Amino acid sequence: MNVGRPLPYPGSGMQESYAPELLYAAFNQDYGCFAIGTQTGFRIFNSDPYKEKMRREFKDGGIGIVAMLYRSNYLAFVGGGRNPHFPPNKVMLWDDASSTIIAELEFRSDVLNVQLQRDRIVVVLRNKCIICSLEAKPRHLHAFETSNNDRGAMAISGGNDSGILAFPGRQKGHIQIVDLHSCVNLAAVQDTAATSPLPVSGGQGFRPRGRGSFSADSATSQTSAPHGSGAAVHPTNINIIAAHATAISALAVSPDGSMVASASEKGTLIRIFDTMSGRLLHELRRGVDRADIYSIAFSPDNTRLCVSSDKGTVHIFNLDPKQAAGNRQSNLKFMKDLLPKYFSSEWSFAHFRVANEVRCICGFGTERNSVIVLCADGTAQKYSFDSYRGNCVREWYRKFI
C-alpha cells in the first residue's frame, strides 16, 4: 500500500510527520516480513522480532511498489518517486540472489498494484486485473475488466493450498472472486519443455539466459490466451458479490480463501462475505465519520480481523462467537427491525491509535493477540491486546527509514 506522503489538504498540520523518502510499504503473504520502497531503492525486514534483513540502493531512481513472494529471493518492482528507477507501466521481476532483473511485463498504463503467488503474477491497472504465469518467460493467462480502481484494490489468499483472488467488479461496489487454480493453460502440458517455473525457496534460483519480456494488456475480453502462443485458456468461474453502494477501496481474503472482507470509499463499514456463496457473514462498523481504509487483514486462523485507516486508528474485530471477547453492539439491538441499520452494527472489541496519527497498514503478528503496524512516518510498531477486555498496549516502536 502506498503509505507515503499524501497530497496536501486544508487544515492539515501533520504533513511533517510523513517520511519523505518512503514511497511504499507492504507485508508478505504471511505478515512475517515486510518490504518498503524508497526514493533510492528498497529494503526487507523481519516483522517480529523486528530486524532489517537486507537493502538495495540504486543510483538512478526509486521503487514505488515492492511485492514479495513469501521469503524467497524473488520480488516484483514498479518504479516510483521523484525519479523512478523503472517505468511506472512496467513490472520487473527481480532475483535478489543474483541482483538481476529476470523478466519484465509492460502495460499500456501505470501499474497500481502487484501480487505474487507461487505460479502466478497478478497486476492491477486502473480498469483491469491481469493474471500472468510466474516463470522465466511469463505468459498472459487472463484479463478481467473492472470499474475505476484508482486505489489498486486487490487481494489474494495467502495460504499455500488456496488461490482465491478478489478485485473490484465492472459495476461500482461489486467484487469479483476468481479461483486462480482454475486459470489453467490448455497447452501447458505441451509447453513444459519451453518454460521453466521459478523455484520459490533457497538461494539457488532460476538463472535465465536472457530476460523475458512482453506487452501484457492488449486483450479486452474476460479471458484471453497468452500472446503469440496460440493456446486456449480454460474459462474461469467468476463469483460476483454486490458488496457496497460506493466504490471498493480495500479488500482482504482469508488465508484459506473462504472469506473476503471489503470496505468502500466511504470507510464506515467492513463487510465479510463467503467467497463461494457470496453470502454476507459479518457487517462490522469502523466508525460513523468518513475515512480512507488503508488495510484489512485476517488473522491466520480466520477468527479476527484488523482494519487501519488514514486517521491513524487500528480496529480489531472478533469473527468467532466462541472467542472470549465479543464485538461491541448497541443496547438497542433488540429493536433492530425498527431502528436504522446503525443500531444493529458490530463495533470493534479492541482499538488503538498510533503515534503521530498518520495513515498506516496492519497485520497480525506471530504471537497470538498481537498486531504489527507500518506507518507513513517510517515507523513499525507492535501492539498486544487483551482477549477479554480489549485493552491494547504498545510493545515496541522502531524507525525503519
* Contact between residue 151 and residue 199 where contact means Cβ atoms under 8 Å apart: no
Q: Measure CA of the first residue to CA of the last residue in the chain; give whole Å.
A: 16
Q: Which residue has the higher pLDDT, 220 or 61?
A: 61
pLDDT by residue (tens digit) across 47-85?
Answer: 999 999 999 999 888 999 999 999 999 999 999 999 999
Q: Is 382's pLDDT higher than 50? A: yes
Between 177-181, 246-250, 305-309, the lowest mean confidence (pLDDT) is in 177-181
Give, as one character, the DSSP assignment of residue 375. Answer: E
What pLDDT sits at residue 17? 74
Rounded to two decimals, the pTM is: 0.84
Q: How many CB atoms lie within 10 A of CB 237?
A: 9
Give, as one character, the DSSP assignment of residue 229. Answer: T
Q: Which residue has the higher pLDDT, 238 or 197?
A: 238
Mean pLDDT, the chain, as a whole number? 82
Grid cell digits, residue 219? 486483450
* Contact between residue 131 and residue 183 where contact means Cβ atoms under 8 Å apart: yes
DSSP letters of 23-74? EEEEE-TTSSEEEEEETTEEEEEETTTTEEEEEEE-TT-EEEEEEE-TTSSE
Over range 277-305, report the average pLDDT. Answer: 91
What pLDDT sits at residue 358? 87
pLDDT by residue (tens digit) across 337-368?
Answer: 444 454 557 888 999 999 888 889 999 999 98
Over range 238-257, report the average pLDDT. Answer: 94
Decide: helix, strand or coil at residue 333. Answer: helix
What pLDDT sits at residue 325? 56
* Contact between residue 242 and residue 173 where contact means Cβ atoms under 8 Å apart: yes
CA–CA gap between residue 32 and residue 71 (Å, rounded): 9
Q: Is 271's pLDDT higher than 60? A: yes
Q: Which residue has the higher pLDDT, 136 or 269?
A: 269
Q: What percent of the chain has pLDDT over 70?
A: 77
Over range 254-279, report the average pLDDT. Answer: 94
Residue 361 β-bridge partners: 374
Q: Which residue has the cell 506487452?
A: 215
Closest CA to 286 of 313, 247, 260, 254: 313
| CA distances, 108 to each of 69, 142, 214, 216, 218 (Å) | 25, 16, 11, 8, 8
| Strand-by-strand arrangement of the 174-179 sheet | 155-156, 164-168, 174-179, 238-242
What pLDDT sits at residue 357? 82
State the burial class of residue 302 (Cβ atoms within 10 Å of its Cβ: 0-12, 13-18, 19+): middle
Q: Is 329's pLDDT higher than 70? A: no
Between 115-124, 265-274, 318-327, the lowest mean confidence (pLDDT) is in 318-327
What pLDDT sits at residue 184? 54
What pLDDT sits at residue 389? 84
CA–CA gap between residue 70 and residue 2 (Å, rounded): 20
Give, as one character, the DSSP assignment of residue 327. Answer: P
What pLDDT sits at residue 363? 96
